[in-house]
Structure 1
Amino acid sequence: MPLIPIRTESPVKRKPWANIALIALNAFVFAVHVLPLGGWTDRVERAMALQTLAPATYQFLTYQFAHANLTHLLGNLVFLWVFGNSVNGKLGHGPYVLFYLAGGVFAALGYAFLDDQGTVLIGASGAIAAVTTAYLVLFPRSHVLILSLVVLIGVFRIPAMILILVKIILWDNVVAQWLDPDTRVAHEAHLAGYLFGFVAGLALLAARAVARDHYDLLSLWDRAHRRFVWRKAVAEFSAPQRGLDGRIIPKAVAHARSPEASAALDRIAEVRERIREKLASGDVTGACDAHQRLVSIDPQQCLSEREQLLIARGYYAQGRMAQAVAAFERFLATYRDSSEAPGVALLLGIIQARDLANWTAARNLLSAWAERMPDAAREAQLRTWLTEARRRLNDPDDAHPSAPRP
């Protein structure tokens, strides 16, 4: 079924001048080729084409700009326009051109290595194949609008991953080659280009030569791994992953193997990952909102030490005192031996006293932590608020009127 991509839904962050220039150059070379210039045109085409048995070095570049006919040219340029603009915007102009040309060179090398018939290779398909899988690596969750011209005629929106992996790579270049082994299409060059684009795209992300975001393929793999680790840690309560995920609580373990609990664990893992994403992007308010969804699923959930503190302080900064108290209490219950715990206990005691006027809770908490303050300044501050809490409660043990008023 012919499927023609129209556009993608991924953002183009800059004008894709490099991609436009490549499209224009391909069109210009083809226009020169079809001009009635006698035998000169044929000689130029032969010189540009890659002679696979005895290639000249320059032909690994020039073959990419020669096309057999208008259909060949337009088919390539449509895919280059649809997928290349976003990749150009992500890589920048110079790096994008180098990536494009390198993909074409690798595709030619792959084709020449496998070809023993002495054929010639022309066309930008190998380079565009590299750009297409680079798009998949950079924007794996995007969607593509396609025009279908056979059977189901119309415009449809499908995930880019399905279109590229199933239709463009598997069907058009693996199944089609098996169905018609005598075709003149250079499937080997396409597949080599796809391989280059995928591996090189991942390498650029891993080396941070390209700006990372939360939606590229490496980030998706990282989040999937985190969810796997978290679920494994929940299922193996004897080895909790405190440093990464917070304390693993018995409630989840007790029912971990039931279908309902398995679905709940999936939801918990997804929400925890969403909290991480929000915190990483600086959206503390969004992270706190996501945290509310987390504790609505399981009130005993606790994040990593750093994340739990960020959430608790975020609640406090937003004036959401009840949520801040709950988050700080969960931190103390989970990370009682943390170096941050005394400071958190002091702050929580002050919130209970000054902001919520819950003097009983303030007294009990501050009394429990009175001997654990790490320095004289915080110990003095704790004693001041503890004294005031006892005075407010008419506690005869230690009542002095000198504490600050809320």
Structure 2
Amino acid sequence: MFLLPIRTEAPVKRLPIVNWLLIGANVLIFFVIDVLGAADKGGWGAQIKQPLMLWPASLELHQFLTFQFLHADWMHLGGNMLFLWLFGNAVNSKMGNATYLMFYLACGVFSGLGFAWGEASLPCLGASGAIAGITTSYLVLFPRSDVTVFYWFFFFGQTQISSLLWILGKMILWDNFLAMRLARQSVDVTSVAYEAHLAGYFIGFVLTCTMLWLRALSRDQYDLLALARRWYQRRTFAAAMQGADAQARAVYGRVARVPGAEQAGDDNVGDVPLASGHPEAWRLRAEAMTRAANKDLAAAASAYQRMIALQADQFLPRTHQQAVANQLMSMGLYPQAAEAYEKYLKHYPRAPDADQVQLMLAILYARDLHRLDQARSLLTQCLARLTDPRKRALASEWLAVVTPAPPPTA
């Protein structure tokens, strides 16, 4: 299969003048040395070219710059310039001209060092090491962009591939790591400077990440460091929200606490639900609250009962707890309704209607559950606190019902 990148979608917001000049310089130098100075025209180009290549066995400082502008043939030149055009324009636009020029040359020098460290005999020439650095710089700056690739495999066409997949998978892993391993297993001498490519990829990635981290380059929400930071934040948040304690704090903030503690300063608010327990119970609690808020009380009561089955000490906000208790009583589920009213009084003892709820629970005990002792205790408390004459009269009537008659006297 033949694959060739032909376009990228990264924005070019200002003219990439340095990148154009670098492409022009490479083409011009090749034309002068390799075309005008070809063997059939006197061969003087080879005499100029030889000392300008990078020779690991006899290194000179100028070679680390000059070898970057030399190429072996038209295919070598064309391939490098295509990749420099595709990825270099956007990087140049992002970095600015002066920074981009220094970055390009630094990548080329470092790739030369990588080649010289790994190779002792053959010379090196070409811009591919510097362009490798430009490519990974593009990856850091525009990781979410796509690369349009032309393919030819029995038929031809074009498709878009993520720059992460193309650069990491195709260019670095496939074209270099795997190809270098296969080349070392072969008896043939390779003409590809894999060490220079890999050194260029490495330094381009490190330098660009460093410049972003130091704010030497303008940041945006789509560069690789921003994506990595958001991934870390999501991972940390997910880990922090694993426990029900954290879920309660996320809902109630600093007031999240264990039931039983009093909530000072607000008679309408009681305890906050226990910041622990079964995660499914918390989900059902949220469902019951939503159903109650939407006046779907039958569904709210169903979710409430499933919640209690999973976590018996769980309860709802005040208005929702009362609405669900009323619904359970209207459905004839008297033991469940009594339990819901009991939770209301336990967790919201200072609610404005607590005395009325206590009276309803006492009547429920007496009339439907035949728990006369509990009904009598609650009714006695109601009479001590109620001020409404009609409610006091109702409490007195039921107290008379549940109070046993005195034994007859002889």
TM-score in terms of structure 1 length: 0.59
* In 1, Cα distance between equivalents of 2:113 and 2:134: 17
DSSP 3-state at the match of 1:169 = helix
Q: Deviations over 1:272-307 (max 9, x none)?
A: xxxxxxxxxxxxxxxxxxxxxxxx9xx9xxxxxxxx
Q: Which residue of 2 aligns with 1:178?
A: 181
Among residues 83, 87, 95, which one is paired with 1:83 in the alignment? 87
What is the deviation of 1:39? 3.6
Map residues 167-316 of structure 1 onto 2, 5 A cutoff: 167-181=170-184, 182-238=189-245
| Structure 1 contact 128–193 (Cα < 8 Å) conserved | yes
Among residues 50, 67, 76, which one is paired with 2:71 in the alignment? 67
What is the deviation of 1:40? 2.3
* In 2, Cα distance between equivalents of 1:157 and 1:255: 46
Go from structure 1 to structure 2 and tell me whether the alpha carbon gap of 1:112 and 1:251 turns closer, same or farther (over 3 Å shift).
farther
What is the deviation of 1:41? 0.8
What is the deviation of 1:255? 6.8
Q: Deviations over 1:145-171 (max 9, x none)?
A: 011123452111110000000000000
* In 2, Cα distance between equivalents of 1:251 and 1:52: 71
Among residues 111, 114, 118, which one is paired with 2:118 in the alignment? 114
Letter in 2 for 1:100: Y
* In 2, Cα distance between equivalents of 1:252 and 1:90: 49
Q: Which residue of 1 aligns with 2:8?
A: 8
What is the deviation of 1:193? 0.3
DSSP 3-state at the match of 2:58 = coil
Q: Which residue of 2 aligns with 1:307?
A: none
Letter in 2 for 1:211: S
| Structure 1 contact 133–197 (Cα < 8 Å) conserved | yes
* In 1, Cα distance between equivalents of 2:255 and 2:115: 53
| Structure 2 contact 245–275 (Cα < 8 Å) conserved | no
Q: Deviations over 1:179-233 (max 9, x none)?
A: 2333210011000000001111100100010000000000001000110111111
What is the deviation of 1:247? 7.3
Q: Which residue of 2 aligns with 1:322?
A: none
* In 2, Cα distance between equivalents of 1:247 and 1:85: 51
* In 2, Cα distance between equivalents of 1:164 and 1:18: 23
DSSP 3-state at the match of 1:153 = strand
The percentage of counterpart residues that share the same residue type is 46
What is the deviation of 1:63? 0.1
What is the deviation of 1:48? 1.3
Go from structure 1 to structure 2 and tell me whether the alpha carbon gap of 1:246 and 1:203 turns closer, same or farther (over 3 Å shift).
farther
DSSP 3-state at the match of 1:235 = coil
Go from structure 1 to structure 2 and tell me whether the alpha carbon gap of 1:251 and 1:46 turns closer, same or farther (over 3 Å shift).
farther
Go from structure 1 to structure 2 and tell me whether the alpha carbon gap of 1:113 and 1:252 turns closer, same or farther (over 3 Å shift).
farther
| Structure 2 contact 244–278 (Cα < 8 Å) conserved | no
Letter in 2 for 1:135: Y
TM-score in terms of structure 2 length: 0.59
What is the deviation of 1:83? 0.4
CA RMSD of aligned residues (A): 2.9
Letter in 2 for 1:128: I
* In 1, Cα distance between equivalents of 2:22 and 2:61: 20
Map residues 157-168 of structure 1 onto 2, 5 A cutoff: 157-168=160-171
Asked if 1:124 corresponds to 2:131, the answer is: no
- List gaps (5 residues or longer) in structure 2: 257-272, 284-289, 294-410
Equivalenced residue count is 260
Go from structure 1 to structure 2 and tell me whether the alpha carbon gap of 1:26 and 1:254 turns closer, same or farther (over 3 Å shift).
farther
* In 1, Cα distance between equivalents of 2:275 and 2:158: 45
Q: Which residue of 1 aligns with 2:287?
A: none
Q: Which residue of 2 aligns with 1:357?
A: none
* In 2, Cα distance between equivalents of 1:156 and 1:251: 54
DSSP 3-state at the match of 2:13 = coil
* In 2, Cα distance between equivalents of 1:242 and 1:142: 38
Q: Which residue of 2 aligns with 1:272?
A: none
Letter in 2 for 1:107: S
Asked if 1:48 corresponds to 2:49, the answer is: no
